[in-house]
Copies of this chain bind each other. A is one copy, B any other.
Amino acid sequence: MITDSLKMKLISIVGQENYEDSPASKLVYSFDATPNYQAMPDAILSPRNKNEVADIVKLCNEHTIPIVPRGSGTNLSAGTTPLEGGIVLLFKHLDQILEIDQENLTITVQPGVNTLEMIQTVEEIGLFYPPDPSSMKISQIGGNISENSGGLRGLKYGVTRDYVLGLEMVLPNGEIIKTGGKLAKDVAGYDLTRLFVGSEGTLGIVTEAILKLIPKPESKKTMLALYDSMEAAAQTVSTIIANRVIPATLEFLDQPTLKVVEDFSKIGLPTDVEAVLLIEQDGPVQSVQADMEKMTAICVQSGALKVNVAKSEWEAEQLSTARRSALSALARLKPTTILEDATVPRSEIANMVRAINEIALKYQVEICTFGHAGDGNLHPTCMTDSRNKDEMHRVEQALEEIFQTAVSLGGTITGEHGVGAMKAPYLHLKLGEEGIEAMQALKHAFDPNNIMNPSKIFAKSSRKRIVVNQS
């Protein structure tokens, strides 16, 4: 609880205008993009620099006040919900691109920088920042780092972790440390940089980041392969890779998703097929051309009904935008949309898609599946209504079985959304109790008072629940 005297101290750090605790403000920051998790913070603070962040953390550590660092709150694991109250920390004053270094191919940013704006800024000068989470239009780079965000280009280019070279972090004890640097190689001690990436705000707060850039690929081509069998589509994915072609994007959409996306985007997507693969390749013109031909042949051999290569950049962009709109499109169908990200080795995509459909049938719930097939990173998405207790119970059972299946196929419970509060009850499926214990020891070493984003990653008492807190 924030006492009056503590409140005065916090205001003296950030200034009156950067301390909010009106009921309206608290309501706004009581939830994130994840359905059915809500809890009121005690206050929302917007520090103006890293020293203010450090001062806030020191005070909170002394008074055991939870801190939830929050970018745009677009995460899908309830990662930024203030489930134990305390302070939600915003980065609206830390929103500057500090430097683009063209000799070292790095960009130095504050955490509040918008992802898409950053991507567009570097593309204007011929550089490229590949991680492209579907939320990039509104997400902040600090959030991407804390969540180790993925995206559509993960197959060829990797995820956020692969582009973070250095961090400035405020640790839970209020100390500011710098890790890494503009360095291709650095083995001075443990790799704290990559440890902090994806630590979901539980180990500290990012106040600055040095990101790696690469040259922008000189060309890009997009194609759509249509299938009357999900298995054939799924099989194509690993056949392409086994044939030594690594496309930039290799997305899968099933028929229900296609219908909804077409209804939303109206760009003429086929809705009478079982599944499509949306494939993009980038690179030097001739290599892209050669890869597109190779992949077209593989798609046809693997049973594609038809392969359409986009005739223009505009058409390609339409396809890609339609794919990115899948969540928004699906969210229109029912009051509650639960988008999951169980992930498997790509050779198991066909088995996983089949299992998801069987599970949906078994529990009588509606699940559409799309996602980053090349990564084995599927998004089975459940359209439901959180007010329907009976159905929610079945949804809960279905999702648990999906997680179990993913793990039994050599996969994981979350490919890119993070554990947050939502997956915490399932973490033992992937890690075992020994793995969780090791991670808890690590958390305790950094944050003995458990002030940094508590209730995330590690489940408290009950397991097996989806709804922690009804809104």
Contacts and interface: CB of A to CB of B under 8 A. Distances in A.
A314 interface: no
Interface in A366-418: 372, 374-377, 410-418
Interface in A429-452: 430-432, 434-439, 441-446
Given A184-B154, A184-B346, A410-B181, A446 B435 contact: no
A405 to B, nearest CB: 14
A233 B432 CA distance: 52
A177 B432 contact: yes
Interface string A85-105: 000000000000000011111
Contact of A178 (B158, B203, B435): B435
Interface string A8-29: 0000000000000000000000
A187 B179 CA distance: 21
Contact of A346 (B104, B162, B413, B444): B104
A286 interface: yes
Nearest to A216: B244
A52 B130 CA distance: 43
Interface in A170-193: 171, 175-179, 181-192
A412 B176 contact: no
Given A103-B241, A177-B435, A415 B185 contact: yes
A238 interface: yes
Task: Report which residue of A126, A127, A439 has the largest number of chain B beta carbons within 10 angstroms of its beta carbon.
Answer: A439
Identical subunits present: 2
A181 B409 CA distance: 10
A290 interface: yes
Interface string A320-350: 0000000000000000000000011111000
A245 interface: yes
A188 B439 CA distance: 11
Most buried by B among A245, A435, A443: A435
A435 B171 CA distance: 10
Contacts of A103: 238, 241-242, 345-347
B198 A191 contact: yes
Nearest to A165: B345
Contact of A189 (B192, B439, B446): B439
Contacts of A191: 148, 161, 194-195, 197-198
Given A177-B431, A194-B161, A435-B178, A188 B104 contact: no
A159 interface: yes
A150 interface: yes
Nearest to A197: B191
A194 B192 contact: no
A103 to B, nearest CB: 4
Contacts of A414: 186-188
Interface of A: 101-106, 126-127, 147-148, 150, 154-155, 158-159, 161-162, 171, 175-179, 181-192, 194-195, 197-199, 203, 214-216, 238, 241-242, 244-246, 283-284, 286-287, 290, 343-347, 372, 374-377, 410-419, 423, 427, 430-432, 434-439, 441-446, 457
Given A186-B343, A188-B412, 18 more contacts: A104-B345, A148-B187, A150-B185, A154-B184, A162-B162, A171-B438, A183-B345, A183-B412, A183-B415, A184-B376, A185-B415, A188-B430, A189-B431, A191-B194, A192-B435, A283-B287, A287-B287, A442-B446
